[in-house]
Amino acid sequence: MTANVSHSPQSSHALDERLAALVARWQAYRELGGFEQFVEFSVALNSLSEQLGRLRLPGLLRIAQGLENAALARFGDQESHPLAETDQLALDRQVQTLAGAIASARQPVGERRAEEGRVVSSDPEWVRPRAVWLVTADGNSLADHLDSQLRHFGFRALRLDWKQDLPAEDAPMAVLFLPEGAPVLPVQLERVAAVRAAVPAGQLFYLGGEREMEPVVALMRAGIDVTIPREDVGAAVLARMLDLVQTREQERYRVLVVEDSRVAAAMIRRTLSEHNIDSEVVADPGKLLDVLPVFRPDLILMDMYMPRFTGVEATRVLRQVAGYQSVPIVYLSSESDIGMQVEALRLGGDQFLQKPINPVVLAAVVRTKIERYRETIRSTRTDGLTGLFNHTASKARLKGMIEVLPAGCNLCLAMVDIDHFKSINDTWGHPVGDQVIRGLAWLLKGRLRASDLIGRYGGEEFILALPDASPDKAISVIDRIRADFAALPHAHGSGVLHASFSAGVACLDHFSTAESLTTAADNALLEAKRKGRNCVVNACEQRA
């Protein structure tokens, strides 16, 4: 169990399919030149952009979005197609650039080696490079600290000065620019622009930026993706780096379409399907309350005018049902009266789309609304300091994992507690204590799998659940993380400190419920503390 640095075969296959669909639909438009073909091309492009965003490939996403904006600017209507040959050639160059950038980012896994130096596989797979460039002057203490931290978390950091020639190989996942101070100088903007041209698929960070609009905009125009103020650099950079190398397969979006027109419903479902979004159609709004608990939508597309009830009336009823007061509702209608639209929004809707609906706009609205809705829900389930599941969500997640565990499949639970944490807070202060907690959270996210549960159980205590893992394997993984954490340096005002943790592990083959499993792991954790801390205790051995 190592860092989740490569995309799953399913994700890779989905990206291949969407790229192939984009190229095929662009060629169809080049041959036929019809408005319908251009719509199909635009939808395919929007779908590809979504997949690049889901895979957290910001550089490639930027290229795709540039093409998407160029296509939308030429969308027009039936009469505006086929586009002039100059416009088609311009779009064709952008399509080829995007396809080439994606192809160059794809490398055989066998060309990259794991931390132990062994070849992982010779099969082609999507792999994010782990290289990070640090563009900085000599003697920069912040660069020294970041270099050490990044290497500890498995990144390959390469130091470059502000004038050094760029390496010809090993394209980086990210480039970190560390200036000596403010303000941003023209020569720095030139360097950023040169790196952006050389590294189109990587993400560029400017560390130590000013909290003012003008310099930030100048950096963005040069090619910077993210500016981070100096006081936030340490925590923010590592968090973002680990975020880039982790792909979390999320549950598919679900959209309920309340629409009595079969033609309109078919068009909507087709558009949503292109974006891997599940949908269900309700032609009779009178059946809405029966469908809701079964389908559990993330968003409802509500036609304004239907037999028996209007969309507004259906929405008003829906808003009185527990659990559906905040589900996004987007109205669909040919209604052009602004007063009517405003009134509809006042009565419970979230947005108004006018028919005929641009499929690209429809997909963008649906995705944006659902992402914000899920983020709102997620914020109630995650710990603010680490971004991990909080106590309540961890318990619920563990219970759910056990309920769906296949017959004969094991699951091991670990309770982890940072040793002498009160002493760390008392000696170095709570900000340093928070840094130690974040460091362990990042290490856990970097070392465990996407299928594993990682939660902050409370204070300095964490809960981990590893499905499909034998006791020996779970103990080995947790003990490796323990050793790595003990070696991790945590910087503070007077230098660095090191911390350790104790852990107790219990497995379902000896304890059958979430409650008994947690209790057993917690008791094993107490035993680890009694043994002197900085060790892992197996509850099964204690039981024997």
* pLDDT tens by residue, 226-250: 888 766 666 677 777 877 766 555 6
Q: How many helical (H) and strand (E) elements, i.e. helices and strands, does the chain have?
A: 19, 19
Between 77 and 20, residue with greater pLDDT = 20
The catalytically annotated residue of 116, 460, 515, 541 is 460
Q: Give the mean pLDDT of 510-517.
A: 90
- Dump pLDDT digits (tens) for 413-467: 999 999 999 999 999 889 889 989 989 998 898 788 888 999 999 999 999 999 9
**Contact status, residue 131 vs residue 158, Cβ threshold 8 Å:** yes
Compute the distance between CA of residue 22 and CA of residue 25 in angstroms, rounded to an integer.
5
Neighbours of 165 (CB within 10 A): 6
Compute the distance between CA of residue 65 and CA of residue 52 in angstroms, rounded to an integer.
10
- Dump pLDDT digits (tens) for 179-228: 877 788 898 999 999 998 888 878 899 988 777 888 899 999 999 988 88
* The pLDDT value given to residue 125: 38
* The pLDDT value given to residue 191: 93
Domains of the chain: 12-109 (1.20.120), 129-244 (3.40.50.2300), 254-379 (3.40.50.2300), 391-543 (3.30.70.270)
The conformation of residue 295, written as its DSSP 8-state character, comes to H
**How far, in whole angstroms, is CA 216 from its chain's centroid?**
24
- Dump pLDDT digits (tens) for 373-409: 988 888 888 898 888 999 999 999 999 999 988 888 8
Q: H/E element holding 386?
A: none
Between 33 and 140, residue with greater pLDDT = 33
* The pLDDT value given to residue 328: 93
- Is 31 marked active-site? no
Asked if pLDDT for residue 111 goes beyond 50, the answer is: no
* The pLDDT value given to residue 233: 67
* The pLDDT value given to residue 123: 34
**Average model confidence (pLDDT) for the chain?**
84
* The pLDDT value given to residue 129: 56
Q: Identify the bridge partners of residue 299 per DSSP, sorted by sequence position.
A: 255
281 is written with which tokens?
Answer: 């159609």
Where residue 544 falls among pLDDT bands split at 50, 70, 90? low
Roughly what angle, to the nearest 10 degrees, separates helices 35-54 and 9-32? 160
- What proportion of the chain, given as a percentage, has pLDDT over 70? 89
Neighbours of 121 (CB within 10 A): 12
* The pLDDT value given to residue 246: 61
* The pLDDT value given to residue 231: 66
**Contact status, residue 349 vs residue 318, Cβ threshold 8 Å:** no
Q: How many CA atoms within 13 Å lie on the side-chain side of 308?
A: 10
User: Is the torsion defined by CA of 23, 28, 29, 34 positive or negative?
Assistant: negative
Among residues 441, 388, 454, 419, which one has the least CA distance to residue 533? 419
User: Is the torsion defined by CA of 529, 531, 535, 541 positive or negative?
Assistant: negative
200 is written with which tokens?
Answer: 């189109």
